[in-house]
Amino acid sequence: MDFPVPDSPFFYGTDGKGDEGLAFFLETLTGSKRYLEYGTGGSTYLAAKHGIEFIAVDSDPYFLKSVRKKIADAGLAQPTGQTYKYGDIGLTGHWGRPIGLRSPSASRLEKFRRYSDPPPECLEGGRTPDFVLVDGRFRVACVLKAIRMLQNERGWTIAMDDYGDRPHYKAIDEFANIDRLVGGRMAVITSLKEFSAEQLESAIRKYEIDPE
């Protein structure tokens, strides 16, 4: 079964429109040399369309397959530089959200913890991604682990969608400066605050089992 995949992402602003979010995304994406995303769809398609090397992570294997098929059907598939990673968190429902959270087993909690790990392809050739979009599951942990990966690098951008209206996402404020809020909702991070490795690891342990 194929799922419909849009030609471009839609990042809702507080005005209900997505123009500002899409403009930011396109500008940042086209200036990127290696792009990592958590949550796939129109964003993945645009990366392929513009020939950007990407690593795409999704918790829904069927939707991820549909994204890959759309890119292939459009003649945009490449033998290298396009990595699709199924972040297995067990049975999922709408938007890749895990089902059956009332009493997850120890093995499933371990899957939750692994989802937000940057895939090993992120470090191939000694190059880290310079643009990370967090728009899937386990968003706080994804941002925190991206910070851990990039904290000693230069010239990177992390974007976290829906930050503006989800109070629990403010957990990232302890570590990151919100350098821009696109459309009143998408947090853009290009610089970090001072923190200890212990502080960061403690926060990661807390949030890597939170699927929101």
The pLDDT of residue 147 is 99
User: CATH for 22-207, among 2.40.50.140, 3.40.50.150, 3.30.499.10, 1.10.10.10?
Assistant: 3.40.50.150
Closest CA to 30 of 173, 151, 131, 138: 131
Taking the C-alpha atoms of residue 180 and residue 188, their distance in angstroms, rounded to an integer, is: 5
Q: Are 86 and 115 in contact (CB under 8 A)?
A: no
For 163, what's the count of Cα atoms within 13 Å in the CB-facing half-sphere?
27
Which residues, 6+ apart, have CB-to-CB distance to 81 below 8 Å? 53, 54
Model confidence pLDDT, tens digit, residues 24-59: 999 999 999 999 999 999 999 999 999 999 999 999
Q: Would you call 57 helix, strand, or coil by DSSP?
A: strand
Q: Which positions of the chain have pLDDT values less than 50? A: none
The position carrying tokens 């500008």 is 27
* Three-class secondary structure of residue 182 per DSSP: strand
The whole-number pLDDT of residue 63 equals 96
